[in-house]
Amino acid sequence: MSIVNTLPDYDELNDALARLEIVTDAAECHGMLCGLICADKQARQHWLAEVLPAGRESGDLLVKELQALLETVYSITRGQFDAAEFGVRLLLPDDNEALSVRLQALAQWCEGFYLGLGIAGINDLDTLPVDSREIVQDMIDIAQVGLDEGEVNEEDEIAFAEVTEYLRVGVLLIHEELSTPKQATQH
């Protein structure tokens, strides 16, 4: 019997974050979690400390709602990393959203991933294995990409899908490289 590996809806998490006036959006939040899972044995604890609002009462219903949603996101994402046959899925807006919206979310996901690495103590790309370093550098570049307001064509959609798949596979490679002690120390 396999665990359900479907992440909560992007808009659902975005709305829960917004209700608590948290400036991090769902994509950045999930990217941060993935970066932490790749580089930090205490990913869950550090991620929740970054995302959950400080100073709010633990009995606050909005905090409880968000915490339950974050726990679900963590459990499913952790399970996706552990189940190599399924792989990680990036938490992004649905395909029916405008490409500009999805591209902005992808950029925020990349920023979140890099932030997660920083929270885990990886502040210098040169400390990463070569392949991981290249992927993270690509993420930094992707985070800077914008889309012209012109008409979107099929080639743009295909390119977006290819970049998303590249990132998904790249995150799995980074996780593998940082989880293997001898490789994590080679440069």
Per residue in 10-33, pLDDT (tens digit) is 999 999 999 999 999 999 999 999
Q: Decide if pLDDT at 145 tops 90.
A: no
Q: Classify the C-alpha dihedral 99-158-35-88 as positive or negative.
A: positive
Other beta carbons within 10 angstroms of residue 43's beta carbon come to: 23
Overall average pLDDT of the 42-61 stretch: 84
**The pLDDT of residue 139:** 97
Name the residue with higher pLDDT: 175 or 186: 175
Mean pLDDT rounded to a whole number for the chain: 88
- CB-based contact 111:31 (threshold 8 Å): yes
Per residue in 146-179, pLDDT (tens digit) is 766 667 788 989 999 999 999 999 999 999 999 8
Q: How far apart are CA 16 and CA 66, in angstroms?
A: 6
Q: What is the CATH number of domain 10-184?
A: 1.20.120.740
Name the residue with higher pLDDT: 40 or 53: 40
125: which DSSP letter?
Answer: G
**The pLDDT of residue 185:** 43
H/E run at residue 59: none
**The pLDDT of residue 54:** 77
- The model's confidence at residue 43, banded by pLDDT at 50, 70 and 90, is very high
